[in-house]
Amino acid sequence: MKKLSLIIILVLSIGSISFAQNTDDALRYSRLFYTGTARFMSMGGAFTALGGDISSLSQNPAGLGVFRSSEITLTPQLEYFKSNSLFNSTSSNDFLYNFNLGQGGIVANLIKNESESGLITLNFGYSFNRTSNLTQTIVINGISSSSSLADYWVDEAKDKTKDQLSILDNNVLDAYLAWSTYLIDSLSGSNDRYGTVYSNYGDNLPSVYGQNMKRVVTNTGFTGEHAISIGGNYSNKLFFGATLGITTLSYERKYEHSESTNVSLPSQFTDFDYTLYYKDNGTGFNLKLGAIYKPIEILRIGFAFHSPTIYHMNRYVYDNISTNFSDGGPYTASNDASRFSYGFTTPFRVMLGGALQVKKIALLSIDYEFVDYSSAKYFETGDGFDYTDKNQDIKQSLGASNNIRLGAEVRLNNIYLRGGYGYYGKAWRSNQDNANQTYNSISCGLGFREKNIFADFGFSTTINKDKYVLYTSSEGSPMSDVNMTRDLFTVTFGYKFGY
């Protein structure tokens, strides 16, 4: 039965985990799609063995040792993201543009020896590189014939009385919002079992669905790295380097879920809207070590190791529900904003690469990268929260991934033509919905060199498919197929000095 009045909503405490971290966040913050200079991007980011590009400071710092002069670069980029979803035979599209700074940095020569043996050069480098663009938007729209998000809240509320729903330690405050706005209520003769408006709270079973369901997901943000590096050249055979990475993470996620029905229901329900918003900001640190060996003049072999990045994160979160009935409304309820901190550690990375250089005519490079996402971990930062279960979920859901990058460059006097390809392998285990999810990128570009100035243009497109689960409930777990494409247009302006 409908309640006579709305309940005052309690404030979310730091200890609440209603909107806590999950495996999706762990993968999102661990997965890197390196961006950088236009040359780096147009060659697929395959620079583990190549070096000589300032973006390699965040990939293989040994690439800093390849520089023979000082250099300064600046790289703005324009991002175009588009998505197409298919939900119960209904297709929806959305897109957005984002202009940002992809890279900016400087290389300074510290030691320069004209000898062909011993320490020939020692360079210092700083570069800010975007390591992932997290901005995207998805619209899912269609008819739901078998369940509702309200069923998810019924499952959450099970075995709890209406008074227990409002207790912070029970972690069901979103179900409490559904109860407060008449979307769910206790079954007749029970105080800890619930029904939804679609069954008139259990009085008119089975539930009558067929409502229009819409989900709008809007993500904005990025991960970026301030790479502080030192690298050198020993006898033109061995290039070495190390990078201290100071990472920044900014991510906002908002999803708006709405359901509306044209069917005359005994509960008099017509529609509801639910909004969930959270924002993460974090700073992390890592160490990168790398080497490039040149056994013969045309061949380079590269290796790099990335330590885990250790983040300190701050989260801000809130949610609200609004419902309408033909005999009244709107009824609204919201959880006050909550702020809390947590720690997160990304997996380590290992990279191997090979590159062929045919005099000053052409380059061909290939990279292999190994990363085990199941080793990502959450940890508490002072509140004593136990993340054992969440870390166990990560281990059981995620696995090791193998990534491949290819790049090529051809020189025509002072014009350079480039192309690249990237394959980012499966991260989810075989029993997960997105077990076959991979990312494929294709890139191209051109460059211009004239004495000590240069300008490069790069284009890359990354494509992936996603199975998006709207919610999980005992009545059903609706899923939408989503195709996503991310295009990046990159321009680099550079100046060389200190020959």
Instruction: Note the pLDDT tens digit of each residue in 9-22.
Output: 222 222 223 345 68
In this prediction, residues 330-346 reach a mean pLDDT of 93
Residue 9 covered by a domain: no
CATH code where residue 56 lies: 2.40.160.60
Q: Which residues pair with 156 in a beta bridge?
A: none
Residue 15 covered by a domain: no
pLDDT in tens, 442-486: 999 999 998 899 999 999 999 999 999 999 999 999 999 999 999
Helix (H, G, I), strand (E, B) or coil at 28: helix
Q: Does pLDDT of 204 surpass 60?
A: yes
Residue 415 covered by a domain: yes
Q: What is the pTM of this model?
A: 0.89
- Angstrom distance (rounded) from CA 310 to CA 294: 33
pLDDT in tens, 416-431: 999 999 999 999 999 9
**241 with 62: CB under 8 angstroms?**
yes
Residues 6+ apart with CB under 8 A from 359: none
Closest CA to 291 of 56, 109, 108: 56
Least confidently predicted of 80-94, 140-154, 280-294, 328-342: 328-342
Gyration radius from the chain CA atoms: 27
Phi/psi of residue 156, nearest 5 degrees: -60, -40
Residue 181 covered by a domain: yes
Write out the residue range of the structural domain in which residue 105 sits.
23-497
pLDDT at position 113? 87
Residue 4 covered by a domain: no
In this prediction, residues 281-298 reach a mean pLDDT of 97
pLDDT in tens, 395-410: 999 999 999 999 999 9
Q: Kindly state the helix (H) or strand (E) to which residue 312 belongs, with its residue range.
A: strand 310-325
Q: Does pLDDT of 171 surpass 70?
A: no
pLDDT at position 6? 29
How far, CA to CA in Å, does 478 sit from each of 446, 467, 473?
45, 10, 9
Residue 161 covered by a domain: yes
User: Domain count of the chain?
Assistant: 1
Residue 327 burial by Cβ neighbours in a 10 Å radius (0-12, 13-18, 19+): exposed
**404 with 366: CB under 8 angstroms?**
yes
Residues 6+ apart with CB under 8 A from 122: 109, 110, 111, 230, 231, 232, 233
Using the CB atoms, write b or e for 352-385: b if 16+ within 10 Å. bbbbebeeeeebbbbbebebbbbbbbbeebeeeb
pLDDT at position 440? 97
In this prediction, residues 233-241 reach a mean pLDDT of 96
Query: Confidence class of residue 244 from pLDDT cuts 50, 70 and 90?
Result: very high
Token pair 């800010």 is found at 128
Residue 3 covered by a domain: no
Residue 265 covered by a domain: yes
